[in-house]
Amino acid sequence: MTNNAPENAQSYRKRILEKIKPFFSGDSLLDAGCGDGEDAALMAPFFKKTEAVDLEESANWKKFENTGIIFKTGNCEKLNYPVGSFDTVVEKDMLHHASDPVSAVKEMCRVSAKTVIVLEANRYNPIFYLHLTLMGGHQHFSQKRFKEIIAASGTPYEIKKFSARVSPINSPFMIKLVNNASDLLEKIPFYGPVIEYNMAVLTKK
């Protein structure tokens, strides 16, 4: 399969993969709110079984029809899977679209046997706020609200943060510059409250 996505977009997705990969557990994965399926395709090689679900079907799913990934339509607030169906459940930038984000997290925990990874953009990151909240209408969570939602799931968790963004110019030099800047920003304590991504890792007992 050939991925035709621009390299700057792929670099951004791969950076996120590197941040969440250490928390993968077991042999099976559910990508909850998979969108175009590109993230599911990047994660799939780390699992023997991968399924991905989203509220609406994406035409892009057809690109992955020979990869073994199973794509389905469904509501992440009421997942059509039995308890403990997947070892790892991952969500990226779906939760702020849910009508009841707490229910969505509880559902992800219900169908997970081991680990749930929740990734959401930080509402108050300056670039994200301008581009995605004010201009795009995305109602991302503040860090406080994100933690409240995760805590309400009743599942043990830890909160982490990291920096990742798409390079505005698709060139190797600029991509490297943006990634190096992200590495630096992660080390600056006062940047923490506005860092690009909040991540929760929930662990089933």
Q: What is the pLDDT of residue 126?
A: 80
CATH number at residue 61: 3.40.50.150
Length of the chain (residues)? 205
pLDDT, one tens digit per residue, over 138-147 is: 688 999 999 9
pLDDT surpassing 70 at residue 53: yes
Q: Does residue 9 form part of some domain?
A: no
Q: Which among 178, 197, 89 is positioned nearest to 140, based on CA atoms?
A: 197
Task: Using pLDDT thresholds of 50, 70 and 90, give the confidence band for residue 131.
Answer: low
pTM metric for this prediction: 0.94
Please, how many CA atoms are within 13 Å of residue 197, restricted to the half-sphere of its CB?
25
| Rounded distance between C-alpha atoms, residue 33 and residue 54, angstroms | 4
pLDDT surpassing 90 at residue 3: no
pLDDT, one tens digit per residue, over 168-203 is: 899 999 999 999 999 999 999 999 999 999 999 999
pLDDT, one tens digit per residue, over 41-52 is: 999 999 999 999
Burial class (CB in 10 A: 0-12, 13-18, 19+), 79: buried
pLDDT, one tens digit per residue, over 92-109 is: 999 999 999 999 999 999
Rounded to 5 degrees, what are φ and ψ at 79? -70, 135
Q: What is the pLDDT of residue 127?
A: 78
Task: Using pLDDT thresholds of 50, 70 and 90, give the confidence band for residue 120.
Answer: very high
Q: What is the pLDDT of residue 1?
A: 45
Q: How many domains does the chain have?
A: 1
pLDDT surpassing 60 at residue 113: yes
Q: What is the pLDDT of residue 200?
A: 98
Q: Does residue 119 form part of some domain?
A: yes
Q: Does residue 2 form part of some domain?
A: no
Helices (H) and strands (E) in the chain, counts: 6, 7
* Torsion angle, alpha carbons of 116, 117, 121, 123, to 10: 40
Name the β-bridge partners of 120.
198
Q: What is the pLDDT of residue 136?
A: 63
Domain of residue 132 covers: 18-165+191-203
Q: What is the pLDDT of residue 140?
A: 87
The residue with greater pLDDT, 128 or 190, is 190
Task: For strands 70-73 and 49-54, give the pairing.
Answer: parallel
44: enclosing H helix or E strand: none
> Which amino acid is residue 176, in one-letter code?
K
pLDDT surpassing 80 at residue 130: no
Q: What is the pLDDT of residue 181?
A: 94
Task: Using pLDDT thresholds of 50, 70 and 90, give the confidence band for residue 129.
Answer: low
Q: Does residue 22 form part of some domain?
A: yes
Q: How large is the angle between the packed helices 143-151 and 101-111, nearest 10 degrees?
A: 50
Q: Does residue 96 form part of some domain?
A: yes
Q: Does residue 34 form part of some domain?
A: yes
- At a CB cut-off of 8 Å and minimum separation 6, what does 133 contact? 123, 139, 140
What whole-number percentage of the chain has pLDDT above 70?
93
Q: Does residue 173 form part of some domain?
A: no
Q: Does residue 170 form part of some domain?
A: no
Cβ(110)–Cβ(80) below 8 Å:
no
